[in-house]
Structure 1
């Protein structure tokens, strides 16, 4: 299960050590709804190696703007607290697996 964070709580959600996958989307966005179970499954498969969180862009415009999110869904991968990769738009599960493989 993914946990939702907002502008006030976002920074504390990013792991200082390890990987955090952040899904920027919105409840009204059909591709975002399709992506959510894919990312939840990745989180389950990776276990403790990966934290998967979501940010609702409508409720957290400052955080979305800070990371240059212009369209949804946008997925950012943080490694040791720093953003290292960005995927824009809905992709197949394998695209996210390949992204994670560089850092796991």
Structure 2
């Protein structure tokens, strides 16, 4: 069973930009209610896509550099990366089916 990877300013390039698989990044914070509501969904997706896509979480308070670089103004924000580029983005809470579809669309 996969588990969402903790993404930080330090490992962002390695984990996200250099990934051979699509990557879903959940930009979140501990004080954000909707973010906490999305946490189990993100963990489920990590299990569903184990080996096919990378599912990770980036705490915007602990990693302000990356959050600023991608213009994160509202959380939760989910971004899908492929080949080091942002290919999809969802701002606010979303359904598991919606996020699943967005990631599946990027799997070759």
* TM-score of the pair, normalised by structure 2: 0.88
Residue equivalent to 1:83? 86
- In structure 2, C-alpha distance between the alignment counterparts of 1:87 and 1:16, rounded to whole Å: 20
Q: Deviations over 1:35-83 (max 9, x none)?
A: 1110111121122011111111011111001111110000010112221
Partner Cα distance (1:53, 1:66) in 2: 17
**Equivalent of 1:55 in 53, 58, 62:** 58
Equivalent in the alignment of 1:41: 44
Following TM superposition, by how much is the alpha carbon of 1:95 offset from its aligned partner in structure 2, in angstroms?
1.0
Matches within 5 A, 1:19-34: 19-34=22-37
Q: Unpaired runs of 5+ in structure 1? A: none
Aligned equivalents of 1:102 and 1:59: distance in 2?
Answer: 30
Give the aligned length: 104
Q: CA deviation at 1:16?
A: 2.9
TM-score, normalization: structure 1? 0.91
Give the whole-Å Cα distance in 1 for the aligned partners of 2:80 and 2:93: 15
Aligned structure 1 segments of 4 or more residues deviating by more than 2 angstroms: none
Q: CA deviation at 1:100?
A: 1.7
- Provide the residue aligned with 1:66 in structure 2: 69
RMSD: 1.2
